[in-house]
Amino acid sequence: MQADVPKSLTTPRDHGGGIDGARAVYGGERADWLDLSTGINPVPYPIPPLPKDAWTALPDAGSQDRLITAARAFWNVPDGAQILAAPGASALIARIPALGRTSRVAIPEPTYNEHAAAFRASGWTVETECNAPVRVLVHPNNPDGKLWEPTDFGDEMTIIDESFCDICPDRSLVDLAGRENVVILKSFGKFWGLAGLRLGFAIGADATMSRLQDMLGPWAVSGPGLHVGALALEDRDWADATRARLKADATQLDDLMQPAGAHIIGGTDLFRLYQVDSAAQWQDRLAQNHIWSRIFPYSDRWLRVGLPDPDGWGRLQDALG
């Protein structure tokens, strides 16, 4: 049976990662740790040598246009929608509340907590029910993998966070991005495994994207970000092969975790959500072996585990005993 989740998440802005904090308790060097607390692809897109001017010159219109063209083609963005590149999806999440005309937003829980934190910081009332005029939907949801439908949208504006949707492009709602009241968010760091590059996208109506562009200012994306982002988005073969590998790896993870007593209750091909007898004890058990996992302030039985890199499977298996 799925653990109960309270209607209000009382601890804001908890995240995966935090290896330095884990080291302070369990010791070891950073290189000793296997970080399974995030949903980041552990086999990232291979970065080729970058041209010198990617580092030394202000990003020019040509490199920005190439990135946007690649993003439009990769995500099949409809003609009526525009794309805005930003220094990470988090930079967009922080600015989204300024787009609204009201002060109430519905964010179904549990979900990625930065959305609620951003709206609260802007003075909004954050609700969990569906009757607020603005709604945020993480699609697929983090941490349970729930997928949403257009019938779940808000009346005034709906923000659809598709940070994990590149594993299931057939379920994307990007074809609705031409609507005046819909904004789609995309993250480059998750599927391509390059979270440190800090690259994200917003897709929506022209007037909405123009307002976001004004908030971000010029040269929002670095030269290396523009260059690597365009290369990766143009590489369809890598994307196809990666989806197949992630699917196989997620199955392999289930095959390791479930015999050890973890019962899968959700997730995606980038992370799995398990129900265990004690999430804190499981996290401690893995951390004793310098493997970091994710637990949540609103459930003492939910454990989220990401995919190991190719060298990490044996370590996880040994830790599970």
Distance CA 160, CA 173 (A): 8
Please name the residues in contact with 27: beta carbons below 8 A apart, sequence gap of 6 or more: none
DSSP annotation string for 184-199? EEEESTTTSS-GGG--
Residues whose CB is less than 8 angstroms from the CB of residue 318 and which lie 6 or more positions away in sequence, other chains included: 289
- Could you tell me which residue, 122 or 18, shows the higher pLDDT? 122
State pLDDT tens for residues 142-173: 999 999 999 999 889 999 999 999 999 999 99
pLDDT tens digits along 220-267: 999 999 999 999 999 999 999 999 999 999 999 999 999 999 999 999
Number of Cα atoms under 13 Å in the Cβ half of residue 244: 6
Sequential DSSP letters for 243-263:
HHHHHHHHHHHHHHHGGGT-E
| Domain ranges (residues) in the chain | 19-43+237-320, 52-234
* Parallel/antiparallel/unpaired status of strands 299-306 and 104-106: unpaired
Topology (CATH level 3) of domain 52-234 = Aspartate Aminotransferase; domain 2 (3.40.640)
Q: Compute the mean pLDDT over every residue in the chain, rounded to the nearest whole number.
A: 94
* 28-49: average pLDDT: 96
Write the DSSP assignment of 75-121 as a string of letters: TT--TT-EEEEES-HHHHHHHGGGG-SSSEEE--SSS-THHHHHHHH
- The answer, yes or no, to whether residue 306 has pLDDT greater than 90, is yes
pLDDT of 11 above 90 = no
pTM of the model: 0.93
> What pLDDT is stored for residue 4 in this prediction?
43
The domain covering 19-43+237-320 belongs, at the CATH homologous superfamily level, to: Aspartate Aminotransferase, domain 1 (3.90.1150.10)
